[in-house]
Each structure stands twice: as structure tokens, then as C-alpha cells.
Amino acid sequence: MLDKLAGVEERFDKLEGLLSDPEVIKDQQAYKHYSMEHAELSKIVSVFRKYKQVAEDIEESKDLLKESDEEIKELAREDIQSSTERLKELEGDLGWLLIPKDPNDEKNVVLEIRAGTGGEEAGLFAADLFKMYSKYAESIGWKVEILSSHATGVGGLKEIIALIKGKGAYSGLKYESGTHRVQRVPVTESQGRIHTSAVTVAVLPEAEEVDVKIEPDEIRVDVFRSTGPGGQSVNTTDSAVRITHLPTGVVVSCQDEKSQHKNRAKAMKVLRARLYEKMLSEQNEKISADRKSQVGTGDRSERIRTYNFPQGRISDHRIGLTLYKLESVLEGNIGEIIDALVTHHQALAIQNVETESRNAA
């Protein structure tokens, strides 16, 4: 790790030279690029230099142990102990700072929730999950915009797609992708039997046009009249939009707005996000199994969490976390679970950095 940090410091020093170069200053694009890299590396270099200073202090204190004066030797031992503890803290800080940054962490999120097995009960729980994520998002200042929704007619949702806008939305929600299982007695169950239903959640980073370029001849746009639950017409004009991406076969429909143009714009947001996720998935397939375990596969067929209503229990199966506060969680208080997942994946990432450092050595 120290060799890697020495390389980071060397690159940082080189950047400082580049940023004072008149030729670089003239090239605003290059200057901006180097400035961003310099700002990112400055956090690591600052801690690394503190680390080196503390290591030097320990060596100097060790030299004082050779003195004949017992009082000086005792002070040196105290300094070595406190400096060693400080050194371990700085090592931990450097471990966090060396974790590869996910370039999508600061992006907005396209959240897709779909009812799976369980019929109407699954649709009702899909609505519960959307309410949970909406309340959580609003509690930390993120905005929620519904892009598309299909109701079941009894208060549930077959599917809902929403855009969650806010700094760090993807970094906070990206581990929510997967199958969410619910165990409870449905309202329609007269004998009080517990049913198990499932809902799938997909969390996609919002893709900009620069992330995914879609040529006009790559899509087919169909318009039709939007319908409500049970097939009832909710619009007498052809305002609903279905976009098919011809190269991949990805299809997106949107009918929530009365304006065809608004529905098309929303459908394009969802299409870009899905194509971007597809591109990322293809990239992830090329990386090693160790790296996959670090970043997670994002496989939404994986059962990640169970919500057990009779016991008031929520269990995340990936990290072995169980909480008996289901009602509170469904009211949007999911911060404890999200923090635990982030910490878990960061710990895996640190292990990966340490493994790579040992292999390189």
C-alpha cells in the first residue's frame, strides 16, 4: 500500500507542476481535468504525509530509548504508544481513501419497482416499497418524480418507475436492487394464513446523453391511448408512448402524462438508464470474480431482503442484519440498513485493495 501511496504522491506533485504551466492554463479543458484530479488526490496525499510524519516521529522516539535518562525513556515510550495508535488510525483512513470511486455515485437514480409472485398482494407491497423509498428520499432532501406507473385497481402497483434526484442518490440506493420478499396475511385472506409474495427493485444510475448516445434510426416510437386499471380509458388522445430500441430490443412505455411530448421525454430517460445499466453489466462481466464480489453483481433475481409482518421483522440476507422495527422502516426510516450495507461493501473494497497491494508486492 505504501508503494501505491508513493505513486499517488508523485502524481500529485506532477499535477501541481502542470497546473502552473502556462500552456496548460491556456487549455481550459485540460486545466479543468487536471484540477479535478489534483483535488481528488489532495485528500489522499494530505493523509499520507501525516502518516509519514507520524512514522518518523516513532523512529525518533525509538532513538530516545537508547538514552540513559529514565525520565526521557519513559516519555519516549509514551510518545511511541500514542503515535502508534495514531498511525493505525491514519492507516484506516488511507484504506478508505484508496477505495476505487464509483463514477456513478453522485448521479440521480431511476428506481423501478415491479410486483412479482403473489398476485394482488405483491402489487400492494410494491406500493408499500415505493412509499418507503419516497419518504426516505424526501427526508434527506431528494426529489421524487414519477416517470411511469401501472396501478392494480385495489391500491397496489404492477409497476412504477420514478426518478430520484439528489446528490449521492445512487451511492445511497444502489444496494437496494434485488428481490424483496414479504410475508404477511393478505387483506383478502379470511382464514388468517400467511402468504409469501415478492417484489423486484432495480436501481439504475440516470444516464445523460453523453453517457449513452441513441441515434434516431435506432428507435421506433409508437403512440397509443393510455388506459387505466382494468382497461378503462383514461385519455381520448394518442398521448401514450412506447419506444423500442431496435439494436437491443429494450422497450419502454410511458402514459402518465396527457402530453405525448412529456411521455416521450420520460420514456427516453428510462431507456437511457436501462441501456446504461446494460453497458455497465457487460463491462462487469469482463472483470474478475474478486472484483465482482466487491462491487456486487446487481442481480435483481437475488433475494436480498425479507419483510415479516407477523414478527415485525426485517432481515437483509446479504449482511445478516435483522431488525425488529418493520413499521418504522416502511415509514421511510431505512437509513440504518443503508448505512450497514455501505459499510459492508466498503470493507470488502478495502480488503480488495489490500489483496491487490500484497499481490503486487
Q: What is the pLDDT of residues 165-201, one digit of tens each?
A: 998 899 999 999 999 999 998 876 667 788 899 999 9
Task: List the chain domain ranges.
Answer: 2-97, 109-346
Residue with cell 427493485: 201
CATH 1.10.260 fits domain 2-97: no
Closest to 137 (Cα-Cα) out of 110, 103, 102, 101:
110
Q: Is the pTM of this model over 0.75?
A: no
Residue 361: pLDDT band by 50, 70, 90 thresholds?
low
In Å, how far are 104, 172, 266, 293 from 165, measured between CA atoms?
A: 13, 12, 14, 28
The CATH classification of domain 109-346, taken from the options 3.40.50.1970, 3.40.50.10490, 3.30.70.1660, 3.40.109.10: 3.30.70.1660
Residue with cell 392494480: 152
Q: Is it the case that residue 5 has pLDDT exceeding 80?
A: yes
Query: What value does the CA radius of gyration of the chain take, rounded to a whole number of Å?
Result: 27
Q: What is the pLDDT of residues 50-94, one digit of tens each?
A: 999 999 999 999 988 888 888 888 999 999 999 999 999 998 888
Which residues lie closer than 8 Å to 5 by C-beta, 6 or more apart?
A: 44, 48, 51, 94, 98
Query: End-to-end distance of the chain based on CA atoms, in angstroms?
Result: 9
